[in-house]
Amino acid sequence: MQVLNNGFVKLLEHMGGDDAVIRNARRCWRSEAKTEDADRKLLRHLIKAGHKTPFEAMVFTFDVKTPLFVARQWFRHRMGSFNEESLRYCVAMRDYYIPEGLEDELLLKWKSKNEEAFDFYDLLVNEHRVVKEQARSILPIGIYTNFLWTVNGSSLMNFLHLRLDKQAQYEIRVYAQAVLELVRDAAPICFSEFEREVLKLGE
């Protein structure tokens, strides 16, 4: 699923869905899944009351490509794991964020400033034998980076809650929206109740 000028989010793997969350929640009462209506009410209650552990029975792994400043916001969500390509070991690719809606002249300048930074990086690494981990200092914060994210359902909902908020930066909001599209099918009851109760959609 493409996001921004050159990024993406893919759902690689997941474990558990509505069934797993209901199974875990009902363990408390030594009971099993009941009618869909009763199960839905239970999930709604858990979301509203802030009971998180049952949602931790769902786990997702995403492959994500974002501008570096978006990745920095993303990595602030500590309950999850990240594996990112490292510019200590990999040569940086000439791949950077371009905002929509720049006027033509400004767009040209934006591109040429980014290209010049990569030119200088190439010079440092190839001609002057500066190590990659230092040479990257000169690259712009808008370069794309690529990482794997494993996160459980509870922490994912927290991410969506904060990053779909109007106060969140546009560039991460579009990623959060893409993540939400990707997980809906995996746990339709959980995420529809989450959208109603937390995101307050459909009001």
Rounded CA gap, 164 and 176, in Å? 6
Per CB under 8 A, which of residues 122..181 are in contact with a second copy? 124, 128, 130, 133-134, 136-143, 146-148, 150, 152, 158, 161-162, 165, 167, 169, 171
* 142's tokens: 């808008």
Binding status of residue 61 toward a second copy by CB under 8 A: yes
Pick from 75, 185, 188, 201: which binds a second copy (CB under 8 A)? 75
Of 155 and 179, CB closest to a second copy? 155
Binding status of residue 106 toward a second copy by CB under 8 A: yes
* 158's tokens: 């927290």
Pick from 56, 174, 175, 190: which binds a second copy (CB under 8 A)? 56
Residue from 171, 201, 197 nearest 73 by CA? 171
Binding status of residue 16 toward a second copy by CB under 8 A: yes
Question: What are the angstrom distances between the C-alpha of 202 and each of 141, 170, 196, 199?
Answer: 37, 21, 7, 9
CB of 147 to a second copy, least distance (A): 7
Binding status of residue 6 toward a second copy by CB under 8 A: no
Pick from 6, 11, 84, 107: which binds a second copy (CB under 8 A)? 84
Binding status of residue 42 toward a second copy by CB under 8 A: no
Tell me phi and psi for residue 145, to 5 degrees.
Answer: -130, 165
Of 132 and 196, CB closest to a second copy? 132
CB 92 within 8 A of CB 137: no
Rounded CA gap, 123 and 135, in Å? 9
Provide the 8-state DSSP code for 64. E
**Cα R_g (the chain), whole angstroms:** 21
* 70's tokens: 């978006």
Provide the 8-state DSSP code for 128. S
CB of 47 to a second copy, least distance (A): 14
Binding status of residue 116 toward a second copy by CB under 8 A: yes
Of 97 and 194, CB closest to a second copy? 97
Pick from 1, 13, 34, 108: which binds a second copy (CB under 8 A)? 13
Pick from 114, 159, 164, 175: which binds a second copy (CB under 8 A)? 114
